[in-house]
Amino acid sequence: MSNPLAAQQLSASQRAKMFIQKSPARMAFIIAALIYLVTIIISPTSLNPSAIGSIIMLTLLLSFASAGQTIVLIGGGMDFGVGAVMSSAAILTTTIMNGKDGHFLQLLVTALAMGAVVGLLNGVCTVKIGLPPMIVTLAISNVVTRMQYVLTQGSPMGYASPTFIKTVTSRLFGLQFLPSIVLYAIIIIPLVYFLLNRSRFGKQVYLVGNNPTAARLNGINVARVQILTYVFSGLFAAFAGMLGAAYMNAARCQIFDEYAYNSLIAVIIGGTTLSGGIGSYTGSIAGSLVMVVLSNALTTVGLSQPVRNVFMGLIMVLLLILYNREKKVRQ
Amino acid sequence: MIKNAFDRFRRSPAFAGFILFLVALVLNAVLQGPASFFTVKSINTLFAKNAPFIIVTVAQSLLLIAGTMDISCGVQVALVNVVIIMAGQTLGLPFIVCCILGVGVAVLASLACWICCSVFRLPALLASYALTYIIKGINVMIMDVPQGKVDKVFYKAYDSQILGFIPVSALFIVGVLIIWLYVRHNRFGTHIYAVGANPRNAFAAGISPMKVQLKAFVLKGIFIGVAGICITLMIASGNPLQAEDYGIRSLSACILGGLGFGGWGNVACAVFGSGFYVLIQNSVYYFFSLLVKLIPGFAVTSYWQNFVSDIIIFLGLLMTIVTAKGQRQALKEGIVRQFRRSDRHYDEPTAAKKGGDGNE
């Protein structure tokens, strides 16, 4: 009598397991929805258009930053320089614009060049010299961070220009839940999709991440592809930093440094593996949503800062346990 | 005999780190002026200020050899500091008991990390980053603002010298190293390398990777506890938000000293790596004060010092790996040669050898 029941339960749990592991992106969206539901139940006032608008804003910002991280992780690397590049781009934005309109093109070129140079340095040191990506990108991002302090004497000047701020933070069509950063997303997200799924480069990145030796034997220039992933990461991080400066209005040193880890965790929650070769940008967007909704939930519930930290850590561990475990030693 | 010993050392993983350390030492001595560098006082200050960092690096090296890592080491040191001070302040326990309590808490924190990394098999980097949040929150919950004090007897003792020239702080480091050496020459010392290099092979050979990593984490917890005691004696008060960057800095110090991820390198790497880290920061400080003295009207902020020392550390990182790569190659060739010598009846075809090399 109990035997078939047990079998049924087992199959149900297996089905649940399959459901969880089949599409991490879908799972991440579900988790984000659940967390938001809990937030609304605990404090119903948090369900208002402007709160949703700020969630969308922060999610898009984090997903732009994690676009590069996704590409690098799929290619089998890791980039901790995202935070430092974003902070530097934010400082460049406020310094170059200095509260006046008409410097956007100059800023765009400078910031993207900076991002590309840092990315290139990361890539060359990781791939050509063979250092562990985590250590070398950390060391380079340290140098970049110190450079911010040296060049600005610790207190960056200026503000982002009013027009630029308007293109990021103003609400579209008077709808409170639709910030105009969505317009940038219309450009960036398809671009990343094209890069990863529709271009030759994207296919090569997946191949290289999956098996570098096989990729090399198939005539792919492994080193070039991997270095390019870091360059793209630098470019996307620099762009995200510019938008972030517009969102924050003014910048300070190390303003976006936490994005280095946050983007990594968002990408991992979205189902991209640390070992490379597997992953999608949809997952990273979903992971960003989870991270933003989570921190929003912990803020609205009104816990004190230390308790919030503990919860944040515990939930991160839970999310990792859910579907990012390594293989068993005994198989 | 001596030449042989030197040859062996030259091939050891710690050699690259040793060279970096030596360069930094000479640089520091020259910039500070040998007369003022080689004094009991200056050596004592160097050890007293940096003993916690060096011990944390040794603890980190243990985990790296075992094939995992823990970047929450830094906040764990702060946790020990907070526990020691608050146990003395609120429960009125004697200082020594507080210290033992602190070590116990550090072991508990390490076990939490072990559960994440080995039992749940999460990526060590991300799991320990999540733990950083948790432990930081707990630190602030226990002690909200920097406060507390340590009896004068204890922190004076930490800053003093035995026999007039051996810094007490150095004894903490030596103690940790002796524990490590004892462990290294046990069976556990061999197992830890086996598990770090390849857990699957180790498992097939009858070693339980989980148990070995458990032991490594407990030992690391004890080391972190000692580092926490050192930092408590050093600042003679409590601060919940200090030493957070020790976790990542110790990791890069280990790599600087020539350790690799998993089963490669030894504890000397950690000592030389952290020594290089410490001495470079010291010598950059003296370099800038020398510049100020030599060029009238020359003034820079401390930002420049950090910038230059970070650049040097980055360059050092590049240097180590170039040399370490050569060493690893030499080691591999040595193993292959030995294998061929023992296997006389087998002539390896050249084509197969080529394929084998191409795999790397």
The per-residue pLDDT for A65 is 92
Tens digits of pLDDT across chain B (360 residues): 677 877 777 777 778 788 888 888 998 888 888 888 888 888 888 888 899 999 999 999 999 898 888 989 999 999 999 999 999 888 888 889 999 999 999 999 999 999 998 888 888 888 888 999 999 999 999 988 888 888 888 888 888 888 778 888 899 999 999 999 898 888 998 899 888 888 888 888 899 989 999 999 999 999 999 999 999 999 888 888 888 889 888 988 988 888 877 777 788 889 999 999 899 988 888 888 888 888 877 777 778 888 888 898 888 888 776 666 666 665 555 555 445 444 434 344 333 333 333 333
Reported ipTM: the value is 0.81
Tell me the mean pLDDT in the region A194-199: 91
Higher pLDDT, A326 or A60: A60
Q: Per-residue pLDDT averaged across A215-231, rounded?
A: 92
**Tokens representing residue B139 in the block:** 């630190």
Number of helices (H), then strands (E), belonging to chain A: the values are 14, 0
Give whole-number Cα distances, B278 to A289, B46, B95, B312, in Å: 41, 8, 29, 12
CA B86 – CA B68 distance, rounded (Å): 31
The residues near A75 (Cβ < 8 Å, ≥ 6 apart) are: A205, A208, A209, A225, A226, A229, A276
Cα separation, A88 vs A95, in Å, equals 10
| Contact between B242 and B228 (Cβ < 8 Å) | no
**pLDDT at position A331:** 57
**Tokens 């250092």 -> residue:** A131
**Closest to B73 in 3D by CA, of B252, B224, B177, B278:** B224
Asked if A294 and A312 count as a contact pair (C-beta separation under 8 A), the reply is: yes
Lowest mean pLDDT among A91-95, A321-325, B132-136: A321-325
pLDDT digits (tens, 9 = 90+) for A119-133: 999 999 888 877 788
Confidence of residue A309 (pLDDT cuts 50, 70, 90): confident
Instruction: Tell me the whole-structure pTM to 2 decimals.
Output: 0.85
For chains A and B, CB pairs below 8 A equal: 136
Rounded to a whole number of angstroms, the distance from the CA of A248 to the nearest CA of chain B is 24
Answer whether A275 touches B (CB < 8 Å).
Answer: no
Query: Per mean pLDDT, which range of A105-109, A174-178, A317-321, B90-94 is the poorest?
Result: A174-178
Triad A100, A102, A106: Cα angle to 5°: 110
What pLDDT score was predicted for residue A4?
55
- Rounded to whole angstroms, the Cα distance separating A256 from A64 reads 13
Separation in Å, CA A328 to CA A89, A159, A297, B121, B128: 42, 52, 34, 8, 20
**Of residues A12 and B63, more confidently modeled:** B63
Provide CATH code, domain B2-343.
1.10.3470
Question: Any idea what the Cα angle at residue B22 is, between residues B20 and B23, rounded to 5°?
Answer: 65
Can you give the length of chain B in residues?
360
Please report, for residues A55, A70, B101, the alpha-carbon distance to residue A282 in angstroms, rounded to integers and kept in the order given: 17, 10, 47
Contact by Cβ (8 Å): A135, A145? no
pLDDT at A7 over 80: no
From chain A residues 127-156, the ones with a CB under 8 A of any chain B CB are 129-132, 134-136, 138-140, 142-143, 146-147, 149-150, 153-154
Distance from CA of A103 to the nearest CA of B (A): 29
For residue B85, the model assigns a pLDDT of 92
Q: Considering only the beta carbons, identify the residue of A140, A311, A325 that sits closest to B314.
A: A140
- Length of chain A equals 331
Written as six digits, the tokens of A177 are: 């839940």
Distance CA B118, CA B100 (A): 26
